[in-house]
Amino acid sequence: MAKSHELHRSDFVKSVVAVLGTIIGGFIAIPGIGYLISPSLKFEASEAWIPLGPLENYPDGTPTLFNFTRTKINGWEKTVNSYGVYVVNHGGNQVTVFSNMCTHLSCRVNWQEDGQIYHCPCHDGKFSPTGEVTGGPPPKPLNVYETKIEDGVLSIHFVEG
């Protein structure tokens, strides 16, 4: 066999079966793999301007919590997620809106009036009134939302994903 350059009929059949089998197998594998991985390939970047009501409703200087919900569809189920933001009205149409999500591990921070800090109960993270980290494990300052004021109504630009 090794010395002969002629291709035996049985070897030819074997090669053809191997090649065709690989091609057919590939065609069967594509739907199978696609079926399994397709949900992981869908990135639904959702963004929206969320109205937080008239700016005049927010007291000057004091961080005030505003809660809202967003509905998201995961596969066959609707999930309603709650979000909270701290609105700080500086007066004169100047406003800062912080996310209440701790930058450490996404627990929710609380504004503490007496200590003048945002405090995270999970790992004792602390943020200053301007959102800077003043203690604990958080690696980054609190996230700040892009804001706009139209006809006296405050809105934030909510981006997810």
Partner 1 sequence: MEKLYTWLDERLGLKTIYDVVLDRKVPKVNWFYTLGSASLFLFVIQAVTGIFLTVYYVPSPDHAYDSIQFIMNGVAFGWLIRGIHHWGATLMVLVVFFHMLRTFYFASYKYPRELTWLTGVLLLFLTLGMGFTGYLLPWNQRAYWATTVGTEIPGTVPIIGPWITSFLRGGPDLSAVTLARFFSLHIWWLPAGIVLLISVHMYLIIRLGISSLPKKDD
Residues that bind partner 1 (CB under 8 A): 30-32, 34-39, 75-77
16 versus 28: smaller Cβ distance to partner 1: 28
Shortest distance, CB of residue 5 to partner 1, whole angstroms? 20
| Least distance to partner 1, CB of residue 113, Å | 43
Kindly tell me which of 35 and 43 has the beta carbon lying closer to partner 1: 35
DSSP labels, 51-96: EEEEGGGSPBSS-EEEEEEEEEEETTEEEEEEEEEEEEEEETTEEE
Least CB distance from residue 91 to partner 1, whole Å?
A: 49
Nearer to partner 1, 7 or 73 (CB): 73
Tokens of 128: 């200053």
3-state secondary structure of 26: helix
